[in-house]
Amino acid sequence: MFYILCPYCGEHREEEEFHPKGQAHIARPADPENTSDDEWGDYLFFRDNPRGVHHELWVHAVGCRKFFNITRHTVSYEILEVYKMGEQPSITAESLASAEKSQGVQVGDGGQQTVGASDSAAKDSRGTKV
């Protein structure tokens, strides 16, 4: 079971209070009269199904009844962030991938710095172990 932080209520509540409403950030075509059938079909029916970071629309159905967005990892089910309607996610698949790459670089650098036994490396290793 998820415990979801409603960004409007400000409380962690049980998943049963919420309903998922599908992929977030689906924009209705600005000019429906001049939208092709393919574009309209994409808008109505086709959704992303990523393995990894996914932005989802949820509603706090039994609480404040407001819609909000969740960034969730589809493999681990971990909720990475919650944000209100109209806001943009701070965590995306691209930002998470680059963060993981930079963490890998930091681990490598930390190992080299530990061998050198500089003061900054000692602080870094304490920070990461805690």
Sheet hosting strand 79-84, strand order edge to edge:
19-23, 53-59, 67-73, 79-84
Q: Among 43, 57, 59, 63, indicate the residue that binds Zn ion (CB under 5 A).
A: 63
Q: Among 5, 57, 59, 64, indicate the residue that binds Zn ion (CB under 5 A).
A: 64
Q: Find the Cα–Cα–Cα–Cα dihedral 73, 74, 75, 77, rounded to 10°.
A: 70
Q: How far apart are CA 33 and CA 20, in angstroms?
A: 30
Cβ-based nearer residue to Zn ion, 29 or 63: 63
Cβ-based nearer residue to Zn ion, 53 or 69: 69
Using rule CB under 5 A, residue 83 touches Zn ion:
no
Contact letters (x/-) for Zn ion, 12-31, by CB under 5 A?
Answer: --------------------
What tokens appear for 8 in the block?
């409007």
Length of the chain: 130
- Binding interface with Zn ion (CB under 5 A): 6, 8-9, 60, 63-64
